[in-house]
Amino acid sequence: DIQMTQSPSSLSASVGDRVTITCRASQMIMTYLNWYQQKPGKAPQLLIYAASYLQSGVPSRFSGSAFRTDFTLTISSLQPEDFATYYCQQSYSSPWTFGQGTKVEIK
Amino acid sequence: QVQLQQWGAGLLKPSETLSLTCSVYDGSFSGYFWSWIRQAPGKGLEWIGEIDHSSSTNNNPSFNYNPSLKTRVTISADASKSQFSLNLTSVTAADSAVYYCARRGSGWHTWGQGTLVTVSS
Instruction: Write the pLDDT tens digit of every residue in B62-71.
Output: 899 999 999 9
Q: Of B67, B112, B113, which has the smallest distance from its Cβ to A95's Cβ?
A: B67
CB contact under 8 A, A98 and B44: yes
CB contact under 8 A, B107 and A89: yes
Q: Which residue of A has its CA nearest to B48?
A: A95
CA–CA separation, A75 vs A17, rounded Å?
8
pLDDT in tens, A29-83: 999 999 999 999 999 999 999 999 999 999 999 999 999 999 999 999 999 999 9
| CB < 8 Å to A43, chain B | 100, 102, 111-114
Q: What is the pLDDT of residue B56?
A: 52
CB contact under 8 A, B46 and A96: no
- A10 close to B (CB below 8 A): no
Q: How many CB atoms lie within 10 A of CB A79?
A: 11
Q: What is the pLDDT of residue B98?
A: 98
Which residue in A35, A30, A28, A21 sits closest to A98, CA to CA?
A: A35
Q: Which residues pair with A49 in a beta bridge?
A: A53
Regions in chain B scoring below 70 on pLDDT: 55-59
CB contact under 8 A, B106 and A44: no
